[in-house]
């Protein structure tokens, strides 16, 4: 491939990454706050928060494995671990969108000191999740295309955000799961 074609392709990929990074958080916000939920015909969607916690737990493990493998200079296993985390994140996102498009949000019923802890975790989780897609997609792209200098610069920010989102996602689930109706 010629140099101009590579640059043109990279511009297209970057445009897609930016568009996806903006559209998905907006779509999720719309789904969370839309007055009428989509009727999916049964209660199967109420299983999705439990599945999402498993997916987030697995993504956390994949991210930690990815860190271990890069620290031990095992590039092929690092790439595999990060790809697993990336695919799990995509599956999670689809499941999350389906759930919040079809089910009403659950209110946290905890009282006392746990209530502010829950809301701090939830709000920081939401804030970081909203911004996480942009650096994660770019970091993955730079790693995939072997642009190691750009990849290393970006993962200093992307990795801790991604890990925080997966870990706090599980913690938030564990705290709210007793209050699920279904």
Find the CATH number of the domain harbouring 62. 1.20.120.80
Residue 34 is assigned to a structural domain of this protein:
no
148 confidence band (pLDDT: 50, 70, 90): very high
- For the chain, how big is the Rg over CA atoms in Å? 18
- Work out the burial of residue 164: count CB atoms within 10 Å of its CB; fewer than 13 is exposed, 13-18 middle, 19 or more buried: middle
Percent of the chain residues topping a pLDDT of 90:
63
- Residue-wise pLDDT for 106-141, tens only, equals 888 999 999 999 999 999 999 999 899 999 999 999
What is d(CA 94, CA 155) in angstroms, rounded to the nearest whole number? 24
| Within-domain flag for 112 | yes
The pTM score is: 0.88
Q: How far is CA 53 from CA 60, 133, 154, in A?
A: 10, 18, 26
Residue 23 lies in a domain: no
- Residue 152 — very low, low, confident or very high, per pLDDT cuts 50/70/90? very high
pLDDT at residue 5, as a whole number = 66
Residues 6+ apart with CB under 8 A from 58: 84, 88
Q: Is there a domain that residue 54 lies in?
A: yes
Q: Is residue 18 part of a domain?
A: no
- Which residues form the domain of 81? 42-179
- Lookup: tokens for 48: 């999705």
Confidence of residue 44 (pLDDT cuts 50, 70, 90): confident
Domain count, the chain: 1
In this prediction, residues 67-91 reach a mean pLDDT of 97
Would 130 be classed as within a structural domain?
yes
Average pLDDT over residues 40-44: 79
């Amino acid at each position: 491939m010629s140099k101009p074609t590579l640059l043109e392709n990279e511009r297209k990929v970057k445009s897609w990454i930016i568009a996806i990074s903006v559209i998905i958080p907006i779509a999720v916000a719309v789904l969370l706050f839309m007055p009428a939920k989509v009727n999916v015909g049964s209660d199967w969607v109420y299983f999705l928060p439990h599945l999402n916690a498993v997916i987030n737990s697995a993504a956390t493990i994949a991210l930690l494995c990815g860190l271990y493998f890069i620290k031990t200079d095992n590039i092929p296993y690092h790439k595999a671990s990060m790809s697993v985390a990336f695919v799990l994140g995509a599956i999670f996102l689809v499941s999350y969108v389906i759930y919040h498009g079809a089910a009403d949000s659950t209110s946290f019923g905890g009282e006392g000191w746990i209530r502010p802890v829950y809301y701090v975790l939830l709000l920081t989780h939401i804030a970081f999740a909203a911004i996480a897609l942009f650096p994660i997609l770019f970091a993955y792209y730079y790693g995939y295309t072997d642009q190691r200098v750009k990849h290393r610069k970006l993962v200093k920010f992307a990795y801790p955000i991604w890990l925080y989102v997966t870990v706090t996602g599980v913690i938030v689930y564990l705290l709210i799961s007793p209050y699920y109706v279904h």
